[in-house]
Structure 1
Amino acid sequence: MTKIFGASSTTHDVLDGLDLRGRRFLVTGASAGLGVETARVLVAHGADVVGAARDLAKAERATGAARDAATASGGSLELVQLDLASLNSVRACADALLADGRTFDVIIANAGVMAPPFGRTEDGFETQFGTNHLGHFVLVNRIASLLRPEGRVVSLSSAGHRFSDVDLEDPNFEHTPYAEFVAYGRSKTANALFAVEFDRRHRDRGIRAAAVHPGGINTELGRHMSAEDMAALVQSLEVAHAAAGLPPYRFKSIPEGAATSVWAAVVAPAEEVGGRYCEDCHVAETVEGEGLRGGVRPYALDPERAKALWAKSEEMVGERF
């Protein structure tokens, strides 16, 4: 019987009874929060995981439990250096993985930043678009040849995509006023559109890509938000839940937050999630309207918009895939 999962399902619920020995995963952002939990639960079920992180010393400290789980299960965890805000670092990481030559079953593009003050990456891109989207765009495309047939890419988006569509005319806020959550929304819409176009390009090889909203989780991702900002965001979410007739809003635990990533990576049928946006361990409905509630905006799944973003991203990074 097919198991039914939902918003309160944890990573262990989703992977209960599964043996992942012999399967290899790449997880970005393996130094905190969802990335650490994702790596831990995968190795606990016997998988071999490569965790990518900007700060390797921090990642070493954060993944002690994952290493213990790997020892117990026969899985493995290794760490590689990756700074998504530097295309030199992204390309060096990709080159090292290509030189190593070992293949992957799944790439989970988990790392990201949320709502920092205006800034630019090493390459001059607006921080959130450059880190959350362009860094992953270059990394995943450069190592796409390492994905095994029937492999998957999981791109972490967010309900924050509802703040804004991508702006292909001004992705770096050179002509429009910067707003932290508008920029975050653009980058999270880009993460969803990337999955749409990557899936279209690779599905003939059996490789599928899905976007995932993990839910609201109180992790280091919110480090740029003040207590007042967080309280205002939670209030807006509570209002949206009440208007939709939903129970009061609550933050997910980290194991609940990482559950949809591993569900889309391992458990869900490929044809069900390929090119789609997932939340709470199911494929989300397309929903119009304001507010940060469930569902995905149509523009985040628009195939023509996805193609246009791909072309703009290639132009920005100076590389064609």
Structure 2
Amino acid sequence: MAFGATSTTDEVLAGVDLKGKRILVTGVSAGLGVETARSLVEHGAEVVGAARDLEKAQRATAEVSRTAEANGGSFSLIELDLADLASVRAAADKLNAEGKLFDVVIANAGVMATPFGKTKDGFETQFGTNHLGHFVFVNRIAKLIKDGGRLVNLSSAGHRYSDVNLDDPNFETTEYDPIVAYGRSKTANILFSVEFDRRHRGRGVRATAVHPGGIQTELSRHIGDDVLMQWLERIQQQRKEAGVPPFEFKTIPQGSATSVWAAVVAPAEEVGGKYCEDCHVSEIVAVDAEGGVMSGGVFAYALDAANAAALWKKSEELVGETFA
């Protein structure tokens, strides 16, 4: 069956039996993470949810726990603050000590367009949280991903706003722009998928990056209403000039659909090392003049193998760890 922009998690997973599958989802305290977990446990999966604020996550996932119990799945929580590498390493150590394998890891958590700030380890907030936190966490638990398993990194069409800047990842010499910083971090999510896929495909583990679509969730809380309206007007004008339909927000079940599609429905060879949106693999498109989110597709710099390798090396230098 063909899925698209309006497909929901329930439609994508219709008839799919996930009993016996163990899946880790980060960012389960709101929005896409909660819906992703709910849809998976409804089909019998054993889901481990990671969140910075466990009390908030427990409230947000009460229905997920009930759904798991009713459908033969299970749901549990682990504390993970991606903006604090001590927390990241502690969470990974806990999972490694348990030694239970995962079929899929969905790196869903993230922040968007934050004011300039730094993580506990001194990294620019968005790059440090969205990329480096997941980079360390996923690499530290990589051996827990079963042979033939998958990694799904949530990226965004926001990658179009900027390539990574490996010379100044923390905006020490560059003027800070929250949207540019977001773009850098989302490009990094794709490049991480490309290089992780290259390193692990020998044992059948494939990695992919997905754009969930435009969804009104807590993620956009740092963007003021005026800025959001200007942003939307710009996108609509770009789309009009290109002769494509107007942009429409997705619902949360529609936004989570590509994550679960890439995780458990799409053929691994189809999505490995690729960028996906609207439940399909995206085509590489030309960089438009303003780097805007005009329509579908992925910019080539986000899938460039040399760029991915360079980011991996720089990330290792920044976090002080080397990963095989």
- Measured in 1, the distance between the counterparts of 2:205 and 2:36 equals 21
Q: Could you tell me which amino acid in structure 1 is paired with residue 308 of structure 2? A: A
* Cα distance per residue 1:7-56 (max 9 Å; x no partner): 00000010000010000000000000000000000000000000000000
* Cα distance per residue 1:197-223 (max 9 Å; x no partner): 000000010000000000000000000
- Measured in 2, the distance between the counterparts of 1:199 and 1:37 equals 26
Is residue 101 from structure 1 mapped to residue 99 from structure 2 by the alignment?
A: yes
- The structural deviation recorded for 1:266 is 0.5
- Measured in 2, the distance between the counterparts of 1:312 and 1:42 equals 34
- Measured in 2, the distance between the counterparts of 1:185 and 1:297 equals 12
Report how many residues are paired: 319
Q: 1:115 is paired with a residue of what secondary structure?
A: coil
Equivalent residue, structure 1, for 2:253: 255
- The structural deviation recorded for 1:87 is 0.2
- Measured in 1, the distance between the counterparts of 2:176 and 2:246 equals 31
Q: Among 234, 246, 249, which residue is 2:232 paired with?
A: 234
- The structural deviation recorded for 1:239 is 1.5
Equivalent residue, structure 1, for 2:35: 37
Compute the TM-score of the two structures, normalised by the length of structure 2. Answer: 0.98
Please show how residues 1-321 of structure 1 align to structure 2 within 5 Å: 3-290=1-288, 291-292=292-293, 293-321=295-323
- Measured in 2, the distance between the counterparts of 1:276 and 1:240 equals 25
- The structural deviation recorded for 1:242 is 1.4
- Measured in 2, the distance between the counterparts of 1:311 and 1:289 equals 25
Q: 1:52 is paired with a residue of what secondary structure?
A: strand
- Measured in 1, the distance between the counterparts of 2:2 and 2:242 equals 23
- The structural deviation recorded for 1:238 is 1.1
- The structural deviation recorded for 1:256 is 0.2
Q: Identity percentage over the alignment?
A: 67
- Measured in 1, the distance between the counterparts of 2:213 and 2:103 equals 24
- Measured in 1, the distance between the counterparts of 2:82 and 2:169 equals 17
* Cα distance per residue 1:171-220 (max 9 Å; x no partner): 00001100000000000000000000000000010000000000000000
- The structural deviation recorded for 1:237 is 1.8
- Measured in 2, the distance between the counterparts of 1:131 and 1:68 equals 30
- The structural deviation recorded for 1:84 is 0.1
Q: Could you tell me which amino acid in structure 1 is paired with residue 243 of structure 2? A: G
CA RMSD, Structure 1 to Structure 2 (Å): 0.6
- Measured in 2, the distance between the counterparts of 1:261 and 1:5 equals 13
Unmatched runs of 5 consecutive residues or more in structure 2: none
Q: 1:258 is paired with a residue of what secondary structure?
A: helix
- Measured in 1, the distance between the counterparts of 2:238 and 2:277 equals 17
Q: Could you tell me which amino acid in structure 2 is paired with residue 269 of structure 1? A: P
* Cα distance per residue 1:93-131 (max 9 Å; x no partner): 000000011000000000000001000000000000000
Deviation beyond 3 Å, 4+ runs, structure 1? none
- Measured in 1, the distance between the counterparts of 2:5 and 2:154 equals 16
- The structural deviation recorded for 1:169 is 0.2
Compute the TM-score of the two structures, normalised by the length of structure 1. Answer: 0.99
Unmatched runs of 5 consecutive residues or more in structure 1: none
- Measured in 2, the distance between the counterparts of 1:206 and 1:84 equals 27
Q: Could you tell me which amino acid in structure 2 is paired with residue 36 of structure 1? A: V
- The structural deviation recorded for 1:243 is 2.2
